[in-house]
Chains A and B, each alone.
Chain A
């Protein structure tokens, strides 16, 4: 018994690494081809792995956040005191500013009513979710939240945080869903200037990501736009609900083709510190079919 086992081990070890490498490389190439070609039919397999991993990440995350809290506690008293003083001064400043703004706010509300924009998307039904894992790869920006198909989340649902669009649900498991942020290099959102209704494409860009900007492309040369105009999701998009605020446009310039303009966009959502997000449970398709019925 023992002898046979030892022989088995010997046979196993006599694999030439080179051939094993070739075989597995071939397998990888096959896998890449298959997964690229039949992306959708492989999804259930991927989500089942996700269903297995996510609860573990959830658990380990609670430990992680505890550690992070402890590290934060080490921040010295001195810096906190300095910060406190600074903040106090700032607070006074802001108080006076606020009183001015409040009066402006009344005016704005009245004007908004006239303009009939309002916060349209606050009427959409939403589900709150907590971010449990960020991508372990520095090139992507997508993250996982703790709500999944059992909470009514579906693929292609829009995700917002604060006041603005954050991303879209790309993968749904039983108890988790993956969200691709709009700052991701592969993200394209069809956008529109709120004031002039000129359309554009909001395109995540890794180079701008560090500074917290997104690229805006394909703005018509004739569009009467200025710096700091709001960009919202457009009516044309087949996945994003119309009228969700994305951000404010900056640095408008004519692009390399001389046929259109491009700009940078300062998103309203804070992508550095996303903890809680809201997932809009209305899908664009549903909304359109409802409107047709009406």
Chain B
């Protein structure tokens, strides 16, 4: 129960940060995708079900706030949460390189999915341009942001894990 509330709060805070504060720190016209980092880390910490649901909820929030149709971002993030959940089996809290790689790959997949559904279907075929000017900067910036945010999410996760264990005893 507490975990649910914590995740909901994390989603809300990440969205707020991403939509307002980060536009002040824009580099090459892109902002880091903190919600994606959250989804990947949650899937990594807690497995597929949790990743799935976190992805669904954060996507839904984005859909409701900036989406043209409701459900598309939700589906994207959900898939990302689901597939990253496979890595739960090899979760190791001292390994920082693995999650960073996962974030980068996820962002790449997300950008390509986004291109296919939102741009290609509207007849914009210049994939090379979008790849070089939006996708690559986004992947790099998000991966850099992940260094900080992954650590933060991990700290929150470990804190609540400890609290829960104490309750059980």
Please give the residue numbers on chain A whose beta carbons come within 8 Å of chain B beta carbons, in ascending order: 13, 15, 17, 20-21, 24-25, 27-32, 34-36, 42, 45-46, 49-50, 53, 56-57, 60-61, 63-65, 67-68, 71, 132-140, 142, 185-186, 206-207, 210
Contact = CB atoms under 8 A, between A and B. Distances in A.
B74 A28 contact: yes
Contact of B138 (A31, A34, A138, A207): A138
B103 interface: no
- Give the secondary structure class of B's interface: helix
Interface string B88-115: 0000000000000000000000000010
Nearest to B23: A134
B78 A136 contact: no
Contact of B20 (A32, A61, A206): A61
B118 interface: yes
Q: Which 4 A-B pairs have the closest CB atoms?
A: A31-B71, A64-B21, A17-B48, A35-B70
Given A57-B20, A68-B24, A139-B118, A46 B64 contact: yes
B22 A138 contact: no
Interface in B13-33: 15-25, 29-31, 33
A15 B20 CA distance: 37
B21 A21 contact: no
A2 B59 CA distance: 35
A114 to B, nearest CB: 43
B19 A136 contact: yes
A65 B79 CA distance: 34
Contact of A32 (B64, B70, B85, B124): B70
B133 interface: yes
A45 B63 CA distance: 12
Contacts of A49: 64-65
